[in-house]
Structure formats: C-alpha cells, structure tokens
C-alpha cells in the first residue's frame, strides 16, 4: 500500500448509462427561429408564449457564451443539438395505465415506479423523458387539496393565467446566456401550485431522464406557493452514457408569497463521462432562483450534486419580504475529470431577512470543485443576517478546491458571518478504520458522510438514505 491508495481513483461504472430503444420524434439538429416555432407548435402553445420564446431567442443571439467560471470545456456547437426529442407514440396523460410499457419499464429501472403505490408511496412523481412528460402520479389526490402538480405544457392548457403571471418573473430571459437559451427552447418541466393555507400532503418530485443522443434537455420548472402554504419538492436526474457531451440547461423559478415555505431538493446524478477522460458527460448549466416575495416567507435549496462532466449552478434567493428566509445547503462531489462551479446568491432586500449557506465540496481524482457565492445586503435590508460556511474536502492529491465568497453589505445594521475550512482525507485516517476491521471504501464513505452530515440532515428523509448511498457508489474504488 502506498500513496497511490487514495489517489487510485476510478468511478464505479455508472449504473444509469443504458439507453431505452423507443421510436422517437426528433427535430433536425440546429437552432433557428423555425426550430423555436416548431417547439411552440408541437406543444400547441398560445401566441404569447411563442412571442416569449422568440424574444428570448433574439436576445440570446446578441449574447456571448460566458467564460468567467472556473470550468473548462470545448466550445459548445449550438447547431449540433436536437432541440426536440419525444417518444412517437402519443402520450395520453389521463391515465397512468396508458403510459407506454417501455417507458414504464425505463423509469422502473431507474427506481422511479410510475405507479401510485410501491416504494415511494408518499411521493408524487412527474416523469420527464427527453422533451416531454410521460406521466405524473397522484395528480387527482393532490387536486383534492387544491394542489396542482403537472407538466408545464398541461398547466398551459388548464391554468394559462397562472403560468402567464409567473413564468419568467423570477428568472427573466435577460438574466444570463443559458437562461435566455432556455426561455427560447424549453420543452418541458413541472408546474406546482399550492393554494392559500395548504400544506402539500405529499412530497413532489420530478425525475428528468435524457435518452436521445445529441439531444439537449431544456426544462423549466415553476413553483408557486401562496400565503401560509408549504411544499417540499425533489428533483432527480440521470442520462445514458454516450460518447459525445450533452447539454442540459434548465431554469427553475420559485415564488413564495406571505409566510409560504418552499423546500427544493436536488439529487443530481447526470452521466459524468468516462473515468479515463471525462468524454461524453453532461454539461449542466442551470439557473435556479427563488423569490421570497411575501413577509416571513422561506425558500430552502438543498442539493446533492454528484454527476455531470460540468456543473455550473447557483441556486439563489431574492429576499424581498421582510423577515423572509433563504437557505442553501449543498454537497458537491467531483471525481475523475468532473468540474463543478457551484454556490449560491442571497440577495437581501427586505428588513430582518436571514440567509444561511452551507456548502460542502468534495474533490477526488483529477477533478476541480469551486464554490462561488454572493451575499448581497441592500441598503433597505436593515437588520439582515447571513451565515456562510463553505468547507472543502480533498481526497488524493491531484484534485483541487477553490472558494470565491463575495460579500457586499450596504448597511450597518446587518451581520455577516463566514467560516471556511479545507480538510484532506489522510491515509492514516483510512488505516485507522482498517485496523479496526473496516475496509477502506467503507472508511472513506463514513468520513465523507460525516463531512456532509449538516446537509444530509436537511434532505427529505425519503431521499437522505439514497443520497448517502449515492455518495458511497461515487467514491467506490477511490481507495484500495
């Protein structure tokens, strides 16, 4: 045994790297106004939405791809992507019995049964396959409580006013390069509406599956939580192992009205590319933002990011309502050739607003893991408080970790606390476990889980165990 022990890093073979063979309706590669119109037409969208898309597309044309992040990747050829890919067989969303058995099997295999019993009995699932939703469970039961949980395209049919009111209200198409792109070509996503004085009776969850080679996935999720209401939502994702990198550029918008409470959790396990070179992994460029509009409202982001070749993502909170609360809890694990540049933005506008950022970055192999965060406390945000903790863990000696915490405080009655630590897993620690009979891999898993505890503790219990196991899988063969 030697220094190599911890450095000998190879990913466990990616479990979800298979592809479903199913007849698909795929748009030709390339991006232009006709493609934007085609998507809008396929989805039978109202005129205003086509205008929304075209405006975004024309704006996007004026932008340059951003280069400020720490991630390195070859220039993306936006003309080499399919912007529409959907199973040919028409999906009727009326009954789960009508879902194509092949798609049912696909999600079953992913551990996401599209049936209303079984393992995830208290979780309603929207299953999205490339560009379309193939099924949403428990919709009727949720509607009995006034809760709307459906694909965005269905919401456009049934609740056009709500969608029109809020779509783009948190992340406008002018926000950034990928947000503009998404606004032009988004195909599917989930819509959640929780009426006043309602605690959503189930966990809501969307599972995103990319299946078509060369297709991008551009989903858009919108969650609106009215006064005194509460919802917990989880997003999960996987993709087959292809040779070419694939683009995933999502937008998530959360709106919390008075005393509303939204908890948004992500377990991201997109294909990371081959362990040897990183080829074929997903490029994950995501804009996630929540607006705490109402007084005393709360938005909490929890993310466990383990996949993708590149992750570029900063779930943020705009704290407008007085006494509103923003939280960000993150575990980002990079291994082999993965790169992650992730963190959060907390924008304090209302009085006595509070925010907490807890970020745990774990780097193994030759990966690079960057925390980038902004805490901005405006003049109006009297008595605002922020606490930030960003810790890094290094496994082996070929990886890197960086933190860029930006703090901008514009009044004197606010407090900002910042803690940061970098720890290295030592061979001596691993040996200590081994000497007590615990194999090296379990030892590393245990050390990493200890490091992530603050974040795992706030994950919905249904998923905490899975997150734990996922981390262990991802680190398999990291030692030994």
Partner 1 sequence: MLDIKNLKAKLDEEDKQILNGINLKIGKGEVHAIMGPNGSGKSTLSKIISGAPGYEPTEGEVLLNGKNLLDMTADERAKEGVFLAFQYPVEIPGVNNGSFLRMAYNAKQKYQGNKELDPLEFEALLEEKLKLLNMDPSFLERSVNHGFSGGEKKRNEILQMLVLDPQVVILDETDSGLDIDALRDVAEAVNHFKNEDKAVIIITHYQRLLNYIKPDFVHVISKGSLIKSGSKDLALELEEKGYDWLVEPVKA
Please give the structure tokens belonging to residue 254: 């959360």
Give Cα 400 to chain centroid, integer Å: 23
Cα distances (angstroms) measured from residue 23 to each of 19, 26, 91: 12, 9, 13
Euclidean distance between CA atoms 204 and 182, whole angstroms: 23
Q: Which residues fall within 8 angstroms of residue 290, CB to CB, at 6 or more apart?
A: 170, 253, 254, 255, 256, 262, 264, 299, 301, 315, 316, 317, 318, 326
Euclidean distance between CA atoms 265 and 467, whole angstroms: 11
Torsion angles phi and psi, residue 100, rounded to 5: -50, 125
What burial letters (b/e) apply to 117-131, b meaning 16+ CB within 10 Å?
Answer: eeebeebbbbbbbbb
Q: Nearest to residue 147, comparing CAs of 220, 224, 219, 261?
A: 224
Q: Nearest to residue 182, comparing CAs of 170, 166, 192, 171?
A: 171
Euclidean distance between CA atoms 218 and 239, whole angstroms: 14
Q: Is 209 helix (H, G, I), strand (E, B) or coil?
A: strand
Residue with tokens 């734990």: 468
Residue with tokens 């190599």: 4
CB-count exposure of residue 75 (10 Å: 0-12, 13-18, 19+): exposed
Please give the structure tokens belonging to residue 163: 């969608």
Q: Is 31 helix (H, G, I), strand (E, B) or coil?
A: coil
Binding site for partner 1 (CB under 8 A): 1-3, 5, 423, 426-440, 442, 446-447, 449-451, 453
Torsion angles phi and psi, residue 124, rounded to 5: -90, 135
Beta strand 85-87 with 24-26 is: antiparallel
Cβ proximity to partner 1: between 174 and 429 the closer is 429
Please give the structure tokens belonging to residue 281: 């992994």
Please give the structure tokens belonging to residue 354: 């509070």
Euclidean distance between CA atoms 365 and 439, whole angstroms: 20
Q: Which residues pair with 264 in a beta bridge?
A: 233, 301
Euclidean distance between CA atoms 14 and 188, whole angstroms: 26
Euclidean distance between CA atoms 163 and 223, whole angstroms: 10
């Amino acid at each position: 045994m030697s220094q190599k022990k911890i450095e000998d890093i190879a990913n466990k073979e990616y479990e979800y790297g298979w592809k479903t063979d199913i007849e698909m309706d795929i748009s030709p590669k390339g991006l232009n106004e006709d493609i934007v119109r085609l998507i809008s037409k396929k989805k039978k969208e109202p005129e205003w939405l086509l205008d929304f898309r075209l405006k975004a597309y024309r704006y996007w044309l004026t932008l340059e791809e951003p280069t400020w992040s720490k991630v390195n990747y070859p220039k993306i050829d936006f003309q080499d992507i399919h912007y529409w890919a959907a199973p040919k067989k028409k999906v009727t969303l009326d009954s789960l019995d009508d879902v194509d058995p092949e798609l049912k099997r696909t999600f079953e295999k992913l551990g996401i049964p599209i049936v209303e019993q079984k393992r995830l009995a208290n979780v309603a699932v929207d299953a999205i396959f490339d560009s379309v939703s193939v099924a949403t469970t428990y919709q009727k039961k949720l509607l009995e409580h006034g809760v709307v949980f459906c694909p965005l395209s269905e919401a456009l049919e049934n609740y056009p006013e709500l969608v029109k009111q809020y779509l783009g209200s948190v992340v406008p198409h002018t926000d950034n390069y990928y947000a503009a792109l998404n606004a032009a070509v988004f195909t599917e996503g989930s819509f959640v509406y929780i009426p006043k004085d309602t605690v959503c009776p189930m966990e809501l969850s969307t599972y995103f599956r990319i299946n078509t080679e060369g297709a991008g996935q551009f989903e858009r999720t919108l969650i609106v939580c009215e006064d005194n209401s509460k919802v917990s939502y989880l997003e999960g994702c996987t993709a087959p192992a292809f040779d070419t990198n694939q683009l995933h550029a999502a937008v998530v918008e959360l709106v919390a009205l008075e005393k509303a409470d939204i908890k948004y959790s992500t377990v991201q396990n997109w294909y990371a590319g081959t362990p040897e070179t990183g080829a074929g992994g997903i490029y994950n460029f995501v804009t996630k933002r929540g607006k705490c509009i109402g007084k005393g409202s709360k938005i909490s982001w929890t993310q466990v990011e383990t996949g993708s070749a590149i992750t570029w993502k900063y779930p943020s909170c705009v704290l407008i309502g007085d006494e509103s609360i923003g939280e960000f809890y993150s575990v980002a694990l990079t291994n082999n050739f993965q790169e992650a540049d992730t963190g959060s933005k907390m924008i304090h506008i209302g009085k006595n607003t509070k925010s907490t950022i807890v970020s745990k970055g774990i780097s193994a192999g030759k990966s690079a893991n960057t925390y980038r965060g902004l805490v901005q406390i405006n003049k109006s945000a009297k008595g605002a408080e922020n606490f930030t903790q960003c810790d890094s863990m290094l496994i082996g000696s070929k990886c890197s970790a960086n933190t860029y915490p930006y703090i901008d405080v514009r009044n004197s009655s606010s407090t900002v606390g910042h803690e940061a630590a970098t720890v290295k897993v030592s061979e001596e620690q691993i040996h200590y476990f081994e000497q007590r009979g615990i194999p090296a891999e379990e030892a590393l898993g245990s050390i990493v889980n200890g490091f992530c505890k603050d974040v795992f503790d706030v994950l919905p219990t249904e998923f905490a165990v899975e997150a734990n196991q996922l981390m262990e899988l991802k680190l398999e063969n990291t030692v030994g």
